[in-house]
Chains A and B, each alone.
Chain A
């Protein structure tokens, strides 16, 4: 699926670093999502944006800071992360913010925090 792209695909960072994950969707969708996929755990919804406005923050620690400058781009800014934040971070988009709309996922960014 090339409709949703994510960069970088892999990222290694120290606990004191600041980095950003980027997601871009080429599908003309209005809703975008960040998910965290940890080993042996179900996907966890982190943030939801609808028409650039954040509609959901699923009790995510403040060391994760999302940004949605327009409906096509979504960023996740990272700072002072912990080793337990190591995971695959997936971006998704859907046409509208409706549960009946299919979510299209990017390939993810594999994050390792040392």
Chain B
């Protein structure tokens, strides 16, 4: 079945530590890939997106993500986490195989220890 998988439901990191959030997809063709963040009480905000070209994508708030076709992955990274990064992070995919609609993963909740 076509899906977007975020294997980690919760992740806790210390402030200043590096972060990597995992995302895997199971679509046949290369999909279009997105990362969104949802802070408490807020709607989702786009962090970055990948359509083609350079597989390392820079986003807002110091985040980056790398598309790895061989691993069907699009992991989100940040070299140094700030307490304000505590939020829920969603990977999402658009694929022609699914009618060009955004399909979201279940999300990863990030907690930041001070």
Interface residues of A (CB under 8 A from B): 1, 4, 40-43, 45, 48, 56, 90, 92, 99-100, 102-108
Instruction: Flag B54-90 by CB within 8 Å of A: 1 or 0 each.
Output: 0000000000000000000000000000000000001
Known: A42-B4, A43-B90. A99 touches B102 (CB 8 A): yes
Is A99 a contact partner of B43 (Cβ separation < 8 A)? no
B103 neighbours in A (Cβ, 8 Å): 42
Is A103 a contact partner of B94 (Cβ separation < 8 A)? no
Q: Of A1, A42, A48, A107, which contacts B107 at CB under 8 A?
A: A42
Is B43 a contact partner of A43 (Cβ separation < 8 A)? no
Please give me the residue from chain A that is nearest to B43 by CB atom: A105
- B45 CB to nearest chain A CB (Å): 6
Please give me the residue from chain A that is nearest to B88 by CB atom: A37
Q: Which DSSP category, helix, strand, loop or mixed, fits chain B's interface?
A: strand
Is B32 a contact partner of A100 (Cβ separation < 8 A)? yes
Instruction: Determine whether B28 belongs to the interface, using a CB cutoff of 8 Å to chain A.
Output: no
Is B43 a contact partner of A107 (Cβ separation < 8 A)? yes
Is B45 a contact partner of A1 (Cβ separation < 8 A)? yes
Known: A45-B101, A45-B102. A4 touches B43 (CB 8 A): yes
Number of B residues whose C-beta is below 8 Å from A? 22
- B50 CB to nearest chain A CB (Å): 11
B9 neighbours in A (Cβ, 8 Å): 40
List 22 A–B pairs whose Cβ atoms lie within 8 Å, in order of A's numbering: A1-B42, A4-B43, A40-B9, A40-B106, A42-B103, A42-B106, A43-B44, A43-B90, A43-B104, A45-B101, A45-B102, A48-B101, A90-B44, A92-B43, A99-B94, A99-B100, A99-B102, A102-B46, A103-B44, A105-B36, A105-B43, A107-B43
Instruction: Determine whether B41 belongs to the interface, using a CB cutoff of 8 Å to chain A.
Output: yes
Known: A41-B106, A42-B107. A103 touches B46 (CB 8 A): yes
A100 neighbours in B (Cβ, 8 Å): 32, 51
